[in-house]
Amino acid sequence: MTEIKRKVEEAAEALRPHLKGGRPVGLVLGTGLGGVVEAIESPVAVAYRDIPHHPVCTAPGHQGRMILGRWAGKSVIALDGRFHLYEGFSPQTISFPIRVLRALGTRILMISNAAGALNPNFDAGDLMVITDHINLTGQNPLVGANEDQWGVRFPDMTEPYNRGLVDLAEKTALKERIKLRRGVYVGVLGPSMETAAETRFLKMCGADAVGMSTIMEVITAVHAGMDVLAVSAITNVNLPDCYRPAPIEEVIRTAAASGRTLGNLFEKVLEKCGEP
Ligand code: HPA
């Protein structure tokens, strides 16, 4: 067994006794969105530092623990605290928890993040279901030797965000009267925010929202054969011709204010998604 596979197996082994039922749906909670975990029933929190080989968080608004429990009748594992390239974590380190989820049987991954709108029709406080992405980080978690047992060398990216889950999210939003935008997410390295010229460029690229997370996790999940649903909490709107700062405090505050709606959306999608 390769070194990385052994580490993933050891981390999964430590978590397995805490699993609450069948294949856990994975939940990745973005900046300011950690409040979603309060809805999880019979939660067991395991700090990242207590999981063998697991990386530990540094980013503001991120806790650094996995929460295993049940939500909307499903077994879930929430990653409360995530890893960003801008913190200096390698793409492989960012992938680690996703690999651990896969080792625990996860087939559906629901991701949230905070993002800045590039689409001028969007408002701060909106939610956006991600239909596709543009990876402008210059990085990829699959660089290096391929683990053939995990996935193929050249994973298909025609549908990184599962269409069935996107449809389900949109139908659910309609039913629950949640305003849900749809759009393309562009992932950048950060941590400096975009200049006005970069914002203009990203808009022209075809993106509706920009952020500094998600892409590494999604590529890893797709490689591992998972179905991904990702929703951005729009925390600020970046208009290149009327550009103004988006301080991190404002980003966290606006994301947190969307937390309840996002939690409601995830809960209702969870109820209807395929896992037992
Ligand atoms: N740019 C990049 N990342 C972000 C933004 C932004 O405007 N808002 C929230 N995350």
* pLDDT per position as a tens digit, 174-233: 999 999 999 999 999 999 999 999 999 999 999 999 999 999 999 999 999 999 999 999
Residue 276 resides in a domain? no
The residue-averaged pLDDT of 33-56 equals 89
Counting ligand 1 atoms within 8 A of each CB, the residue from 31, 201, 235, 258 with the most, and so the one to mutate, is: 235
Supply the CATH number for residue 165's domain. Answer: 3.40.50.1580
Q: Which atom of ligand 1 is nearest to the CA of 188?
A: 2
Confidence of residue 245 (pLDDT cuts 50, 70, 90): confident
The answer as to whether 57 is a domain residue is yes
Ligand 1: lining residues by beta carbon, under 6 Å: 114-116, 193-194, 210-212, 235-236, 238, 246, 251
Domain extent at residue 133: 3-271
pLDDT of 276 strictly over 80: no
Q: Is the pLDDT score of 240 beyond 60?
A: yes
Q: How confident is the model at residue 174, as a pLDDT?
A: 97
Tokens (6 digits) for 128: 């956006």
Angle at 71 between CA 66 and CA 74, to 5 degrees: 100
- Give distance in angstroms: CA of 211 to centre of ligand 1: 5
In a domain, 105, yes or no: yes
- Report the pLDDT value the prediction gives residue 96, as an integer from 0 to 100: 97
Going by alpha carbons, the residue nearest to atom 10 of ligand 1 is 115
State residue 10's pLDDT score.
97
The residue among 104, 92, 32 whose CA lies nearest residue 66 is 104
pTM of the model: 0.95
Instruction: Kindly list the distances between the CA atom of residue 168 and the CA atoms of 26, 174, 205, 227, 229, in Å, as whole numbers in the listed order.
Output: 17, 10, 27, 13, 10
Angle between helices 91-103 and 3-15 (to 10 degrees): 50
What is the count of structural domains for the chain? 1
* Separation between Cα atoms, residue 204 and residue 271, nearest integer Å: 37
Task: Give the model confidence (pLDDT) of 94-136 as tens digits.
Answer: 999 999 999 999 999 999 999 999 999 999 999 999 999 999 9
Best residue among 119, 192, 199, 210 to mutate for probing ligand 1's pocket (most ligand atoms within 8 Å of CB) is: 210
- What is the whole-number distance in angstroms between the Cα of residue 201 and the centre of ligand 1? 15
Residue 61: per-residue pLDDT: 60
Nearest CA to ligand 1 atom 6: 116
